């Protein structure tokens, strides 16, 4: 069995890149391998009828369908787990994992969607047992009777705010009272550039999509390019990076479906060389951001400054659209 430190070293910290998803995946599988109490509790959590694991692996490759984060084999079942912390579900990702399970001959088949916050997902194949679980649920399985490494894993989940407490606190009430005011301010900025964005790059998605991003620690609107999807252009506010402030920005998000679209990635790498590049697996993002606290310090001209910032980035993408209209179709 490969040591835990070797597994984690593969995802060693890179500049401007957080690997919470990969780290948590490897830590979870290691604890499941080495702590039989935790293993048994976890199988019960996902409603498996088995109480022990024969084989567990991460990032198993299925060329036609992708790489599930975790694959668990027991005497009578196969379980695939997709872990999402820093990103949304990839293009039809769960549907593709259903196809992996459909081609497997195991008696029982499970598909688990593991997230920081609860996300309501469904699949069509009723022969596959599907369940949404949260990192909070995983952390609740761990107590003083578990192995030391599993108890340290619990500390890690809490310290990195993956196991989020469900209970309300007084500070939550204060935040709730102010949230409508904050959302109204963000809406004013995004709505101020809505027509400008539409004229240059096409219409935004419906406005309600902004609020659905709040549980991912972001508030933005987007334009989807291509059918099937090539990439999204996102405009708004982002605070999903650990230990970093809130940013406003514009980004090009190229999801997993485009792992074969090297021409698109190369085009943006060449022409958005000043933008920040982030990669997560085969997903790649090009973004231009500014810290919101720097905007706040400007006092009276905050709104014009933010609108101008967004328009400059929209103009830059518009120039790329004129340079290569086919990519933006």
pLDDT tens for residues 56-96? Answer: 999 899 988 999 999 999 999 999 999 988 677 777 889 99
Among 27, 40, 37, CA closest to 135? 27
Q: Which residue has the tokens 């405009």?
A: 235
CB-CB neighbours of 32 under 10 Å? 20
CB-CB neighbours of 194 under 10 Å? 16
Per DSSP, the residues of 26-37 read HHHHHHHHH-HH
Greater model confidence, 12 or 100: 100
Report CA 99 to chain centroid distance, whole Å.
22
Q: What is the number of H-type helices and E-type strands within the chain? A: 12, 10
pLDDT tens for residues 157-202? Answer: 988 888 877 677 777 778 878 888 899 999 999 999 999 999 999 9
Q: Classify residue 82 as exposed, middle or buried by CB count within 10 Å of its CB (0-12, 13-18, 19+).
A: buried
pLDDT tens for residues 274-321? Answer: 999 988 767 889 999 999 998 888 767 889 999 999 999 999 999 999
Measure the CA–CA gap between 26 and 59, rounded to whole angstroms.
10
Tell me the CA end-to-end span of the chain in Å, nearest whole number: 48
Lookup: tokens for 26: 């490897």
Q: Where are the alpha helices (DSSP H) in 202-301?
A: 209-212, 262-271, 292-296
Residue 18 has pLDDT above 60, yes or no: no
Measure the CA–CA gap between 75 and 212, rounded to whole angstroms.
39
pLDDT tens for residues 228-279? Answer: 889 999 999 999 876 788 999 999 999 865 555 688 989 999 999 999 998 8
Q: What is the pLDDT of residue 14?
A: 42
pTM of the model: 0.55
For residue 66, what is the DSSP state?
A: B
Greater model confidence, 328 or 17: 328
Measure the CA–CA gap between 4 and 1, rounded to whole angstroms.
9
Residue 300 has φ and ψ, to the nearest 5°, of -70, -30
Element (H, E) at 189: helix 170-192
Report CA 197 to chain centroid distance, whole Å.
25
Using CA atoms, how far residue 151 sits from 40, 63, 170, 201, in Å, is 16, 36, 28, 50
Give the start-end residues of each E strand in 187-230. 218-225
Q: Which residue has the tokens 């999204």?
A: 232
Greater model confidence, 4 or 315: 315
Lookup: tokens for 280: 């997560």
Domains of the chain by start residue, with CATH: 4-159 (3.40.1350), 170-328 (no CATH)
């Amino acid at each position: 069995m490969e040591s835990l430190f070797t597994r984690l070293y593969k995802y060693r910290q890179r500049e401007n890149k957080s690997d919470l998803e990969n780290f948590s995946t490897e830590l979870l599988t290691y604890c499941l391998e080495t702590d039989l109490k935790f293993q048994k509790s976890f199988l019960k959590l996902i409603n498996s009828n088995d109480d022990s694991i024969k084989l567990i692996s991460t990032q198993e490759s299925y060329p036609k369908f992708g790489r599930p984060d975790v694959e668990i084999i027991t005497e009578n079942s196969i379980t695939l787990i997709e872990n999402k912390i820093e990103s949304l579900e990839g293009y039809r990702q769960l549907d593709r994992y259903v196809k992996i399970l459909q081609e497997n001959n195991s008696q029982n088949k499970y598909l688990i969607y593991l997230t920081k916050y609860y996300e309501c997902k469904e699949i069509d194949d009723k022969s596959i047992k599907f369940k949404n679980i949260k990192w909070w649920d995983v952390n609740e399985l761990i107590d003083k009777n578990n192995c030391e490494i599993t108890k340290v894993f619990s500390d890690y989940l809490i310290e990195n705010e993956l196991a989020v407490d469900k209970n309300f606190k007084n500070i939550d009430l204060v935040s709730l009272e102010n949230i409508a005011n904050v959302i109204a301010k963000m809406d004013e900025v995004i709505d101020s550039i809505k027509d400008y964005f539409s004229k240059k790059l096409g219409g935004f998605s419906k406005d309600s999509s902004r609020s659905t991003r709040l549980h991912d620690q972001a508030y933005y609107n987007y334009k989807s390019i291509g059918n099937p999807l090539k990439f999204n252009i996102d405009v708004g506010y982002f605070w999903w990076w650990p230990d970093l402030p809130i940013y406003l920005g514009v980004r090009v998000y190229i999801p997993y479906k485009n792992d074969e679209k090297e021409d698109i990635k190369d085009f943006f790498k060449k022409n958005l060389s000043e933008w920040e590049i982030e990669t997560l697996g085969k997903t790649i993002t090009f973004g231009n951001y500014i810290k919101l606290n720097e905007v706040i310090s400007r006092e009276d001209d905050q709104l014009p400054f933010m609108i101008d910032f967004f328009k400059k980035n929209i103009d830059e993408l518009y120039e790329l659209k004129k340079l290569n209209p086919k990519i933006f179709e």
